[in-house]
Copies of this chain bind each other. A is one copy, B any other.
Amino acid sequence: MSSGFPFAAPFKEIKGSPIRELFKYLSTPGMISFAGGYPAPELFDIPGLQASISTQASTLQESMSYGATEGLPVLREILATLCTQRGIQAGKDDILVTSGSQQAYELLVRALIAPGDTALVERPAYPAAIQGLRLAGANIVTVGVEEDGTNLEELARALQQHQPKFFYCVPTFANPSGITLSLEKRKKLLALLATTDCLLIEDDPYGQLRFSGEPLPTLAELARSTPAQDQVIYLSSLSKTVAPGLRIGWMVAHPEILRRCVLAKQVDDMCSAPFMQAVAAHYLNSGRYAQHLPYIINTYRQRAQCMLNAFSADFDGQLKLVRPEGGMFIWGYLPPDINATRLLPLAIDEKVMFVPGSGFYADKPDENAFRLSFAMSNEAQITEGVTRFRKALDRY
Protein backbone atom coordinates (compact mmCIF):
# COMPACT_ATOMS: atom_id res chain seq x y z
CA MET A 1 0.00 0.00 0.00
CA SER A 2 1.53 3.29 -1.10
CA SER A 3 -0.75 5.88 0.46
CA GLY A 4 -3.04 6.08 3.48
CA PHE A 5 -6.31 4.24 3.88
CA PRO A 6 -8.92 5.19 1.27
CA PHE A 7 -11.60 6.49 3.63
CA ALA A 8 -14.70 8.23 2.33
CA ALA A 9 -14.51 12.01 2.76
CA PRO A 10 -16.48 12.35 6.03
CA PHE A 11 -14.23 9.72 7.63
CA LYS A 12 -10.91 11.23 6.56
CA GLU A 13 -10.57 13.66 9.43
CA ILE A 14 -12.40 12.45 12.45
CA LYS A 15 -12.92 13.54 15.99
CA GLY A 16 -14.69 11.63 18.69
CA SER A 17 -17.71 12.80 20.62
CA PRO A 18 -16.64 15.37 23.22
CA ILE A 19 -18.97 13.72 25.73
CA ARG A 20 -17.34 10.34 25.23
CA GLU A 21 -13.95 11.90 25.82
CA LEU A 22 -15.07 12.57 29.38
CA PHE A 23 -15.81 8.95 30.11
CA LYS A 24 -12.35 8.24 31.42
CA TYR A 25 -13.01 10.58 34.37
CA LEU A 26 -16.20 8.78 35.34
CA SER A 27 -14.23 6.09 37.12
CA THR A 28 -12.43 8.60 39.33
CA PRO A 29 -13.32 7.59 42.91
CA GLY A 30 -15.96 9.89 44.38
CA MET A 31 -16.82 11.55 41.07
CA ILE A 32 -20.37 12.88 40.90
CA SER A 33 -21.55 12.91 37.32
CA PHE A 34 -24.18 15.18 35.87
CA ALA A 35 -22.63 14.40 32.49
CA GLY A 36 -23.99 11.13 31.08
CA GLY A 37 -27.19 11.04 29.13
CA TYR A 38 -28.02 7.66 30.58
CA PRO A 39 -30.95 6.48 32.64
CA ALA A 40 -30.24 5.39 36.21
CA PRO A 41 -29.52 1.64 36.37
CA GLU A 42 -30.75 1.38 39.96
CA LEU A 43 -34.20 2.32 38.66
CA PHE A 44 -34.40 -0.53 36.16
CA ASP A 45 -37.01 -3.10 37.06
CA ILE A 46 -34.42 -5.84 37.47
CA PRO A 47 -36.76 -8.48 38.99
CA GLY A 48 -39.26 -7.85 36.21
CA LEU A 49 -36.61 -8.15 33.51
CA GLN A 50 -35.19 -11.25 35.17
CA ALA A 51 -38.64 -12.83 35.15
CA SER A 52 -39.01 -12.08 31.43
CA ILE A 53 -35.52 -13.38 30.66
CA SER A 54 -36.17 -16.54 32.59
CA THR A 55 -39.48 -17.16 30.81
CA GLN A 56 -38.04 -16.50 27.37
CA ALA A 57 -34.99 -18.67 28.04
CA SER A 58 -37.25 -21.72 28.09
CA THR A 59 -37.98 -21.33 24.37
CA LEU A 60 -34.59 -20.40 23.01
CA GLN A 61 -34.48 -22.17 19.69
CA GLU A 62 -36.47 -19.54 17.88
CA SER A 63 -34.95 -16.51 19.58
CA MET A 64 -31.44 -17.81 18.89
CA SER A 65 -32.21 -17.95 15.15
CA TYR A 66 -32.41 -15.02 12.77
CA GLY A 67 -35.67 -13.12 13.10
CA ALA A 68 -37.63 -11.06 10.61
CA THR A 69 -35.89 -7.77 9.84
CA GLU A 70 -39.08 -5.89 10.70
CA GLY A 71 -39.04 -7.28 14.24
CA LEU A 72 -40.79 -10.08 16.11
CA PRO A 73 -44.56 -9.92 15.49
CA VAL A 74 -45.29 -10.16 19.23
CA LEU A 75 -43.12 -7.11 19.92
CA ARG A 76 -44.51 -5.13 17.00
CA GLU A 77 -48.02 -5.82 18.32
CA ILE A 78 -47.35 -4.46 21.78
CA LEU A 79 -45.37 -1.49 20.45
CA ALA A 80 -48.34 -0.69 18.21
CA THR A 81 -50.50 -0.78 21.33
CA LEU A 82 -48.10 1.59 23.12
CA CYS A 83 -48.34 3.92 20.12
CA THR A 84 -52.11 3.81 20.17
CA GLN A 85 -52.01 4.72 23.86
CA ARG A 86 -49.94 7.75 22.81
CA GLY A 87 -52.58 8.74 20.27
CA ILE A 88 -50.61 7.44 17.30
CA GLN A 89 -52.68 5.22 15.05
CA ALA A 90 -50.39 2.32 14.27
CA GLY A 91 -50.85 -1.36 13.65
CA LYS A 92 -48.22 -4.07 13.83
CA ASP A 93 -47.26 -3.54 10.18
CA ASP A 94 -46.60 0.16 10.67
CA ILE A 95 -43.80 -0.63 13.14
CA LEU A 96 -40.17 -1.33 12.40
CA VAL A 97 -38.25 -2.57 15.42
CA THR A 98 -34.73 -1.14 15.51
CA SER A 99 -31.58 -1.58 17.60
CA GLY A 100 -32.37 1.50 19.67
CA SER A 101 -34.00 4.54 18.12
CA GLN A 102 -30.44 5.53 17.20
CA GLN A 103 -30.56 2.88 14.49
CA ALA A 104 -33.97 4.07 13.33
CA TYR A 105 -32.48 7.52 12.81
CA GLU A 106 -29.45 6.12 11.05
CA LEU A 107 -31.57 4.05 8.66
CA LEU A 108 -33.46 7.21 7.76
CA VAL A 109 -30.23 9.12 7.20
CA ARG A 110 -29.11 6.38 4.85
CA ALA A 111 -32.36 6.19 2.93
CA LEU A 112 -32.69 9.96 2.57
CA ILE A 113 -29.31 11.66 2.60
CA ALA A 114 -26.79 11.69 -0.22
CA PRO A 115 -23.56 13.62 0.39
CA GLY A 116 -24.32 17.33 0.07
CA ASP A 117 -28.02 17.00 0.90
CA THR A 118 -29.31 19.30 3.61
CA ALA A 119 -30.94 18.31 6.88
CA LEU A 120 -32.12 20.52 9.71
CA VAL A 121 -31.40 19.99 13.38
CA GLU A 122 -32.08 22.19 16.35
CA ARG A 123 -29.55 24.43 18.02
CA PRO A 124 -28.65 22.79 20.42
CA ALA A 125 -29.30 19.20 19.28
CA TYR A 126 -28.55 15.62 20.23
CA PRO A 127 -24.87 15.06 19.27
CA ALA A 128 -25.32 11.62 17.70
CA ALA A 129 -27.95 13.10 15.37
CA ILE A 130 -25.44 15.73 14.28
CA GLN A 131 -22.66 13.15 13.99
CA GLY A 132 -24.84 10.80 11.93
CA LEU A 133 -25.39 13.57 9.42
CA ARG A 134 -21.73 14.55 9.39
CA LEU A 135 -20.64 11.00 8.64
CA ALA A 136 -23.20 10.88 5.83
CA GLY A 137 -21.63 13.98 4.30
CA ALA A 138 -24.78 16.04 4.83
CA ASN A 139 -25.03 19.78 4.84
CA ILE A 140 -26.33 20.53 8.34
CA VAL A 141 -28.41 23.64 8.93
CA THR A 142 -29.52 24.54 12.43
CA VAL A 143 -32.71 26.10 13.71
CA GLY A 144 -32.83 27.89 17.06
CA VAL A 145 -34.86 26.80 20.05
CA GLU A 146 -36.86 29.11 22.31
CA GLU A 147 -38.45 28.40 25.67
CA ASP A 148 -41.51 26.96 23.92
CA GLY A 149 -39.47 25.04 21.36
CA THR A 150 -38.35 25.48 17.77
CA ASN A 151 -38.08 29.03 16.46
CA LEU A 152 -40.64 28.75 13.69
CA GLU A 153 -39.60 31.87 11.81
CA GLU A 154 -36.11 30.49 11.55
CA LEU A 155 -37.50 27.12 10.55
CA ALA A 156 -39.61 28.70 7.81
CA ARG A 157 -36.55 30.50 6.42
CA ALA A 158 -34.44 27.34 6.55
CA LEU A 159 -37.12 25.30 4.81
CA GLN A 160 -37.35 27.85 2.03
CA GLN A 161 -33.65 28.51 1.60
CA HIS A 162 -32.29 24.99 1.84
CA GLN A 163 -35.02 22.58 0.79
CA PRO A 164 -33.87 20.11 3.42
CA LYS A 165 -34.59 16.39 3.25
CA PHE A 166 -35.74 16.33 6.85
CA PHE A 167 -35.94 18.23 10.11
CA TYR A 168 -34.81 16.19 13.11
CA CYS A 169 -36.56 17.28 16.26
CA VAL A 170 -37.00 16.05 19.85
CA PRO A 171 -40.19 17.99 20.64
CA THR A 172 -40.73 16.68 24.18
CA PHE A 173 -38.09 17.11 26.93
CA ALA A 174 -35.35 17.52 24.36
CA ASN A 175 -31.82 16.33 24.78
CA PRO A 176 -29.97 18.52 25.68
CA SER A 177 -32.27 21.48 26.29
CA GLY A 178 -35.08 19.77 28.24
CA ILE A 179 -37.41 22.06 26.30
CA THR A 180 -40.86 21.01 25.12
CA LEU A 181 -42.49 22.34 21.97
CA SER A 182 -45.77 24.05 22.87
CA LEU A 183 -49.10 22.81 21.51
CA GLU A 184 -49.62 25.97 19.51
CA LYS A 185 -46.21 25.67 17.92
CA ARG A 186 -46.72 21.96 17.22
CA LYS A 187 -49.74 22.83 15.12
CA LYS A 188 -47.98 25.68 13.36
CA LEU A 189 -44.92 23.56 12.68
CA LEU A 190 -47.04 20.90 10.98
CA ALA A 191 -48.88 23.48 8.90
CA LEU A 192 -45.54 24.95 7.83
CA LEU A 193 -44.16 21.52 7.02
CA ALA A 194 -47.14 20.67 4.83
CA THR A 195 -46.19 23.49 2.45
CA THR A 196 -42.84 21.78 1.76
CA ASP A 197 -41.40 18.37 0.83
CA CYS A 198 -39.39 18.20 4.04
CA LEU A 199 -39.92 15.20 6.29
CA LEU A 200 -40.07 15.51 10.07
CA ILE A 201 -38.29 13.01 12.26
CA GLU A 202 -40.00 13.21 15.63
CA ASP A 203 -37.67 11.52 18.09
CA ASP A 204 -39.56 10.76 21.29
CA PRO A 205 -37.41 8.78 23.72
CA TYR A 206 -38.35 10.90 26.73
CA GLY A 207 -42.03 11.72 26.18
CA GLN A 208 -43.24 9.13 28.71
CA LEU A 209 -41.05 10.66 31.44
CA ARG A 210 -43.30 13.65 32.20
CA PHE A 211 -43.15 14.64 35.87
CA SER A 212 -44.99 17.96 35.74
CA GLY A 213 -47.36 19.91 33.52
CA GLU A 214 -49.97 18.58 31.14
CA PRO A 215 -49.25 15.89 28.53
CA LEU A 216 -49.12 17.16 24.96
CA PRO A 217 -50.02 15.21 21.85
CA THR A 218 -47.10 14.03 19.76
CA LEU A 219 -46.56 15.59 16.37
CA ALA A 220 -47.40 12.20 14.87
CA GLU A 221 -50.80 12.30 16.56
CA LEU A 222 -51.48 15.91 15.60
CA ALA A 223 -50.49 15.26 11.99
CA ARG A 224 -53.14 12.61 11.57
CA SER A 225 -55.67 13.57 8.91
CA THR A 226 -53.75 16.76 8.12
CA PRO A 227 -51.78 17.44 4.91
CA ALA A 228 -48.54 16.78 6.86
CA GLN A 229 -49.64 13.26 7.81
CA ASP A 230 -47.23 11.35 5.56
CA GLN A 231 -44.32 13.63 6.43
CA VAL A 232 -44.03 12.76 10.10
CA ILE A 233 -41.81 9.85 11.09
CA TYR A 234 -42.15 8.85 14.73
CA LEU A 235 -39.25 7.28 16.64
CA SER A 236 -39.30 5.99 20.16
CA SER A 237 -37.31 3.70 22.38
CA LEU A 238 -37.39 1.52 25.47
CA SER A 239 -33.95 2.81 26.48
CA LYS A 240 -35.15 5.49 28.87
CA THR A 241 -38.31 3.80 30.14
CA VAL A 242 -37.22 0.15 30.50
CA ALA A 243 -33.47 -0.27 29.90
CA PRO A 244 -31.03 0.82 27.18
CA GLY A 245 -29.26 -2.55 27.26
CA LEU A 246 -32.23 -4.09 25.48
CA ARG A 247 -31.29 -1.99 22.43
CA ILE A 248 -34.91 -1.75 21.38
CA GLY A 249 -36.32 1.24 19.59
CA TRP A 250 -38.91 1.57 16.88
CA MET A 251 -40.11 3.63 13.96
CA VAL A 252 -43.60 4.45 12.72
CA ALA A 253 -43.63 5.84 9.19
CA HIS A 254 -45.35 5.77 5.83
CA PRO A 255 -45.04 2.28 4.27
CA GLU A 256 -42.81 3.60 1.47
CA ILE A 257 -40.35 4.93 4.05
CA LEU A 258 -40.60 1.88 6.28
CA ARG A 259 -39.89 -0.41 3.32
CA ARG A 260 -36.64 1.40 2.55
CA CYS A 261 -35.58 1.32 6.17
CA VAL A 262 -36.20 -2.44 6.27
CA LEU A 263 -33.85 -2.81 3.28
CA ALA A 264 -31.25 -0.65 4.96
CA LYS A 265 -31.59 -2.68 8.16
CA GLN A 266 -31.19 -5.97 6.26
CA VAL A 267 -27.69 -4.91 5.25
CA ASP A 268 -26.99 -3.30 8.60
CA ASP A 269 -27.69 -5.95 11.25
CA MET A 270 -30.27 -8.26 9.60
CA CYS A 271 -32.46 -8.07 12.69
CA SER A 272 -32.27 -6.81 16.26
CA ALA A 273 -31.32 -9.60 18.68
CA PRO A 274 -34.51 -11.71 18.75
CA PHE A 275 -33.99 -12.78 22.35
CA MET A 276 -33.88 -9.15 23.49
CA GLN A 277 -37.02 -8.52 21.44
CA ALA A 278 -38.77 -11.48 23.03
CA VAL A 279 -37.75 -10.30 26.51
CA ALA A 280 -38.98 -6.77 25.76
CA ALA A 281 -42.31 -8.05 24.43
CA HIS A 282 -42.80 -10.29 27.44
CA TYR A 283 -41.92 -7.49 29.83
CA LEU A 284 -44.26 -4.99 28.14
CA ASN A 285 -47.05 -7.56 28.10
CA SER A 286 -46.50 -8.56 31.73
CA GLY A 287 -48.04 -5.37 33.04
CA ARG A 288 -44.87 -4.55 34.94
CA TYR A 289 -43.95 -1.75 32.55
CA ALA A 290 -47.06 0.24 33.37
CA GLN A 291 -46.57 -0.59 37.04
CA HIS A 292 -42.90 0.37 37.22
CA LEU A 293 -42.75 3.48 35.02
CA PRO A 294 -44.34 5.79 37.66
CA TYR A 295 -41.50 4.88 40.02
CA ILE A 296 -38.92 6.05 37.48
CA ILE A 297 -40.91 9.22 36.80
CA ASN A 298 -41.28 10.02 40.52
CA THR A 299 -37.61 9.53 41.14
CA TYR A 300 -36.66 11.78 38.22
CA ARG A 301 -39.14 14.41 39.46
CA GLN A 302 -37.47 14.41 42.89
CA ARG A 303 -33.99 14.51 41.41
CA ALA A 304 -34.85 17.32 39.02
CA GLN A 305 -36.46 19.31 41.80
CA CYS A 306 -33.52 18.67 44.10
CA MET A 307 -31.08 19.88 41.45
CA LEU A 308 -33.09 23.00 40.63
CA ASN A 309 -33.43 23.81 44.35
CA ALA A 310 -29.75 23.32 45.02
CA PHE A 311 -28.75 25.53 42.11
CA SER A 312 -31.26 28.18 43.01
CA ALA A 313 -30.04 28.21 46.65
CA ASP A 314 -26.35 28.22 45.76
CA PHE A 315 -26.22 30.56 42.80
CA ASP A 316 -28.72 33.26 43.52
CA GLY A 317 -29.70 33.86 39.91
CA GLN A 318 -26.17 33.85 38.50
CA LEU A 319 -27.04 30.89 36.30
CA LYS A 320 -29.98 30.65 33.96
CA LEU A 321 -31.46 27.17 34.08
CA VAL A 322 -34.22 25.82 31.86
CA ARG A 323 -36.81 24.09 34.05
CA PRO A 324 -37.92 20.86 32.36
CA GLU A 325 -41.30 19.19 32.76
CA GLY A 326 -39.87 15.74 32.22
CA GLY A 327 -36.99 13.78 30.72
CA MET A 328 -33.50 13.68 32.16
CA PHE A 329 -31.86 17.03 31.46
CA ILE A 330 -31.47 20.57 32.67
CA TRP A 331 -29.92 23.01 30.26
CA GLY A 332 -28.16 26.01 31.68
CA TYR A 333 -26.26 29.15 30.84
CA LEU A 334 -23.26 30.38 32.79
CA PRO A 335 -22.65 34.08 33.23
CA PRO A 336 -21.43 35.66 29.95
CA ASP A 337 -17.79 35.75 31.03
CA ILE A 338 -17.64 32.05 31.94
CA ASN A 339 -16.75 29.51 29.27
CA ALA A 340 -18.27 26.10 30.03
CA THR A 341 -15.49 24.13 28.32
CA ARG A 342 -12.90 25.95 30.42
CA LEU A 343 -14.95 25.47 33.57
CA LEU A 344 -15.06 21.71 33.11
CA PRO A 345 -11.48 20.85 34.17
CA LEU A 346 -11.99 22.86 37.36
CA ALA A 347 -15.22 20.97 38.00
CA ILE A 348 -13.55 17.61 37.35
CA ASP A 349 -10.91 18.70 39.80
CA GLU A 350 -13.71 19.24 42.33
CA LYS A 351 -15.07 15.82 41.37
CA VAL A 352 -18.22 16.87 39.61
CA MET A 353 -18.90 16.48 35.92
CA PHE A 354 -21.25 18.15 33.46
CA VAL A 355 -21.24 18.51 29.68
CA PRO A 356 -20.21 21.82 28.09
CA GLY A 357 -22.87 22.94 25.63
CA SER A 358 -20.50 23.28 22.68
CA GLY A 359 -20.83 19.58 21.76
CA PHE A 360 -24.52 20.06 21.05
CA TYR A 361 -24.12 22.61 18.30
CA ALA A 362 -23.72 21.65 14.67
CA ASP A 363 -22.42 25.15 13.93
CA LYS A 364 -21.44 28.05 16.15
CA PRO A 365 -21.63 26.88 19.77
CA ASP A 366 -22.87 28.87 22.73
CA GLU A 367 -19.80 28.76 24.96
CA ASN A 368 -21.76 29.62 28.11
CA ALA A 369 -24.21 26.79 27.81
CA PHE A 370 -23.96 23.47 29.63
CA ARG A 371 -26.05 20.34 30.16
CA LEU A 372 -26.81 18.67 33.47
CA SER A 373 -28.39 15.27 33.85
CA PHE A 374 -30.19 14.68 37.10
CA ALA A 375 -31.02 11.07 36.21
CA MET A 376 -27.92 9.25 37.39
CA SER A 377 -27.38 10.77 40.85
CA ASN A 378 -29.38 10.47 44.04
CA GLU A 379 -30.44 13.53 46.01
CA ALA A 380 -27.45 13.52 48.38
CA GLN A 381 -25.10 13.32 45.39
CA ILE A 382 -26.98 16.07 43.61
CA THR A 383 -26.75 18.43 46.58
CA GLU A 384 -23.06 17.71 47.05
CA GLY A 385 -22.44 17.92 43.29
CA VAL A 386 -23.99 21.37 43.09
CA THR A 387 -21.80 22.53 45.98
CA ARG A 388 -18.74 21.32 44.09
CA PHE A 389 -20.00 23.04 40.93
CA ARG A 390 -20.21 26.23 42.97
CA LYS A 391 -16.62 25.79 44.14
CA ALA A 392 -15.42 25.22 40.60
CA LEU A 393 -17.19 28.36 39.43
CA ASP A 394 -15.71 30.35 42.31
CA ARG A 395 -12.24 29.17 41.31
CA TYR A 396 -12.81 30.11 37.66
- B230–A1 touching, CB < 8 Å: yes
Report the bound CA distance from A102 to B266 in whole Å: 9
Enumerate chain B residues within 8 angstroms of A111, measured Cβ to Cβ: 7-8, 11
Q: How far is the CB of A52 from chain B (nearest CB, A)?
A: 10
- A64–B50 touching, CB < 8 Å: no
Any chain B CB within 8 A of the CB of A199? Answer: yes
- A112–B7 touching, CB < 8 Å: yes
Report the bound CA distance from A63 to B46 in whole Å: 11
- B60–A267 touching, CB < 8 Å: no
A117-B8, A165-B6, A243-B64 known; A263-B1 Cβ under 8 A: no
- A247–B231 touching, CB < 8 Å: no
Report the bound CA distance from A196 to B5 in whole Å: 11
- B102–A9 touching, CB < 8 Å: no
* Residues 250-299 (chain A) with a chain B CB within 8 angstroms: 254, 256-257, 259-260, 263-264, 266-276
- B7–A260 touching, CB < 8 Å: yes
Contact digits for A132-147, partner B, Cβ 8 Å, 1 yes 0 no = 1001010000000000
Binds B, one of A37-45, A171-179, A323-331: A37-45
A1-B196, A99-B269, A276-B276 known; A66-B245 Cβ under 8 A: yes
Question: Which of B57, B196, B268 is in CB contact (< 8 Å) with A268?
Answer: B268
Report the bound CA distance from A113 to B267 in whole Å: 15
Among A1, A259, A267: residue with most chain B CB under 10 A: A267
Enumerate chain B residues within 8 angstroms of A110, measured Cβ to Cβ: 8, 11, 135
Chain A interface residue count, CB cutoff 8 Å, equals 84
Enumerate chain B residues within 8 angstroms of A239, measured Cβ to Cβ: 66
A269-B102, A275-B245 known; A44-B66 Cβ under 8 A: no
Enumerate chain B residues within 8 angstroms of A9, measured Cβ to Cβ: 114
- A254–B135 touching, CB < 8 Å: no
- B115–A14 touching, CB < 8 Å: no
Any chain B CB within 8 A of the CB of A54? Answer: yes
- A64–B38 touching, CB < 8 Å: no
Report the bound CA distance from A63 to B243 in whole Å: 9
Enumerate chain B residues within 8 angstroms of A231, measured Cβ to Cβ: 1
Contact digits for A1-45, partner B, Cβ 8 Å, 1 yes 0 no = 111111111010010110010000000000000000010011010
- A131–B263 touching, CB < 8 Å: yes
- A128–B17 touching, CB < 8 Å: no
Q: How far is the CB of A69 from chain B (nearest CB, A)?
A: 8
- A60–B49 touching, CB < 8 Å: yes
Any chain B CB within 8 A of the CB of A227? Answer: yes
* Residues 184-198 (chain A) with a chain B CB within 8 angstroms: 194, 196-197
Report the bound CA distance from A246 to B67 in whole Å: 11
Question: Which of B50, B196, B259 is in CB contact (< 8 Å) with A60?
Answer: B50
Report the bound CA distance from A325 to B197 in whole Å: 54
Enumerate chain B residues within 8 angstroms of A128, measured Cβ to Cβ: 266-267, 270
Enumerate chain B residues within 8 angstroms of A58, measured Cβ to Cβ: 50
- A61–B42 touching, CB < 8 Å: yes
Any chain B CB within 8 A of the CB of A62? Answer: yes
Any chain B CB within 8 A of the CB of A161? Answer: no
- A113–B270 touching, CB < 8 Å: no
- B247–A273 touching, CB < 8 Å: yes
Enumerate chain B residues within 8 angstroms of A67, measured Cβ to Cβ: 245
Q: Closest 4 CB pairs between A and B? A: A64-B245, A64-B243, A99-B269, A132-B267
Beyond the given pairs A135-B264, A273-B276, 6 more chain A to chain B contacts, judged by CB atoms under 8 angstroms and listed by A's residue number, are A4-B256, A6-B112, A6-B199, A64-B244, A131-B266, A132-B267
